[in-house]
């Protein structure tokens, strides 16, 4: 219930500072302890990470990125009524290959911003992550 509140429209307000993400992570840490009835335990970072893995839950920082990429995928595939801004172009990537097969995007289609606008806003934030999704297999 708490996580759904934090994730609501997170692509619009996603935190860009690590200190803010850490505050969200602390709330999730308390929720994990409550779920497991371990409210009075102190989790090390490694133990907390293992609990997240056991419960199949992403850390908050990765969940924000995941939500961004899902929305970006929907925009790229015209599944939502939001278009790419004019400062973003699709180009053929000649220097390195990014595998988009799992996302249904042509492996040669990569987004690059023409100019830097609002550096931490949705599109510039997503483009960097999108372009680094992983090497071609």
58-90 pLDDT, tens per residue?
A: 998 888 889 999 999 899 889 999 988 877 777
| Residue 55: per-residue pLDDT | 92
Q: Over 100-120, what HEC string results?
A: CHHHCCCCCEEEEECCCCCCC
| Residue 115: per-residue pLDDT | 58
Kind and range of the H or E run holding 89: strand 88-92
Parts of the chain with a pLDDT under 50: 94-108, 137
DSSP 36: T
b/e map of 52-80 (b: 16 or more CB within 10 Å)?
A: beeeebebbeebbbebbbebbbebbeeee
């Amino acid at each position: 219930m708490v996580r759904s509140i934090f994730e609501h429209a997170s692509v619009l307000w996603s935190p860009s500072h690590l200190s803010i993400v850490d505050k969200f992570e602390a709330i999730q840490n308390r929720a994990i302890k409550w779920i497991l009835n371990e409210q009075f335990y102190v989790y090390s970072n490694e133990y907390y990470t293992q609990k997240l893995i056991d419960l199949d839950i992403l850390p908050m920082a990765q969940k924000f990125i995941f939500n961004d990429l899902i929305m970006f995928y929907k925009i790229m595939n015209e599944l939502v009524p939001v278009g790419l801004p004019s400062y973003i172009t699709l180009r053929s990537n000649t220097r390195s290959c990014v595998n988009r097969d799992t996302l249904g995007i042509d492996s040669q289609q990569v987004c690059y911003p023409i100019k830097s606008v609002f550096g931490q806003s949705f599109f510039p934030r997503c483009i960097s992550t999108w372009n680094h999704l992983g090497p071609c297999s």
